[in-house]
Amino acid sequence: MILGVDEAGRGCLAGPVVVASVVLSKAVYQDHLADSKSLSPSRRSEVFDMLNNSDSSISIAIIPSKRIDEINILQATLEGMLFVINPYLSQCSEVIIDGNQVPKGLPGFVRSEVKGDQRFPQVSAASIVAKVTRDKLMKGYEKILPGYDFNDHKGYGTQAHYDALFAKGMSCIHRRSFNLSQQCQLF
């Protein structure tokens, strides 16, 4: 069994970082899998539904902005990785994490791969699960925190997002550790 791991939202100004892990079912047609960034939103949703309706094992960690502010984005991401990896360690022959970081204390069969989401179907699947899950959360935040346009930019630092920050100030899901007040002065 190979466990793929990826995250979404690490570079955002607002919202959680979402980490997902996936062990693919043998029934999943792997040609449908690709890095989440290379798929359209509708295609990502289709593949997400296909994965959820399969016998694939999926685990998700949602690390909120408050926790990110407490321990920093890298540590929050690594914490999420541990959460989604640990339940599978005794069953897996290999764990592949997208990127260049592996949480400390894991066995040698856990490794990181830069651009792993483009090369390993399990990591591609985790990429899709993390991205779709986070996008759904951000759309929900737009309903309770209107005016920030989370539906469109999903918390990333676009001009529209900075404009909303200037107009409305920071919301309860903005990451204070990113020192947004200083960054907003750049625009």
Mean pLDDT of the chain: 90
More confident site: 55 or 21: 21
At 38-66, the pLDDT tens digits run 788 898 899 899 999 999 999 999 999 99
Give the contacts of 147 (CB within 8 A, at least 6 positions apart).
164, 167, 168
Q: Residue 140 CB: number of other CB atoms within 10 A?
A: 13
- What's the CATH number of domain 2-184, 3.90.330.10, 3.30.420.10, 3.40.50.970, 3.60.10.10? 3.30.420.10
pTM: 0.91
More confident site: 28 or 60: 60
